[in-house]
Amino acid sequence: MKRCLFLSAALYAASLTSAQAVEPITDPAFASDVVDRYANHIFYGSGATGMALVAIDGNQRVFRSFGETRPGNNIHPQLDSVVRIASLTKLMTSEMLVKLLDQGVVKLNDPLSKYAPPGARVPTYQGAPITLVNLATHTSAL
């Protein structure tokens, strides 16, 4: 448990140091070049079968796809391709939690019941309320 809490705290602290103000890219061609450079590096260095990427900055949207949707089918990922994201939902949820923490909207020790709809039955774990940190560190037994 302590190790999980330490890891969560370390990830949160690291995200704060990397959340510095970044100059927005106003030239669409330049934004596209930046996405291409990073996406190429990520895809060709990963050994993945395929990759789809959408980058959004203000009103700019850049979509790039690489490889195939399945090995050997020669079908490139499209905007409407179905993708199995597996455990990436944990990463996305954690990122949203970090943003809400940073904005002061939530606190890690807030009980889950604080955000449940009125009348909802919220389980407890070992007689204690389940908190957001329990959910984030997978220690809620849910």
On whether residue 74 sits in a domain, the answer given is yes
Sign of CA dihedral 123, 126, 131, 137: negative
Tell whether 140 and 130 lie within a shared domain: yes
What domain range includes position 77?
A: 20-83
pLDDT tens digit sequence for 98-132: 999 999 999 999 999 999 999 999 999 999 999 99
φ, ψ for residue 7 (rounded to 5)? Answer: -60, -45
Q: Which residue has the higher pLDDT, 40 or 12?
A: 40
Q: Give yes or no for residue 19 having a pLDDT over 90.
A: no
Q: How many domains are contained in the chain?
A: 2
Alpha helices in 51-108 (DSSP H): 88-102
Half-sphere exposure of 7 (CA within 13 A, CB side): 9
Tell whether 91 and 75 lie within a shared domain: no
- Tell me, what's the pLDDT at 7? 40
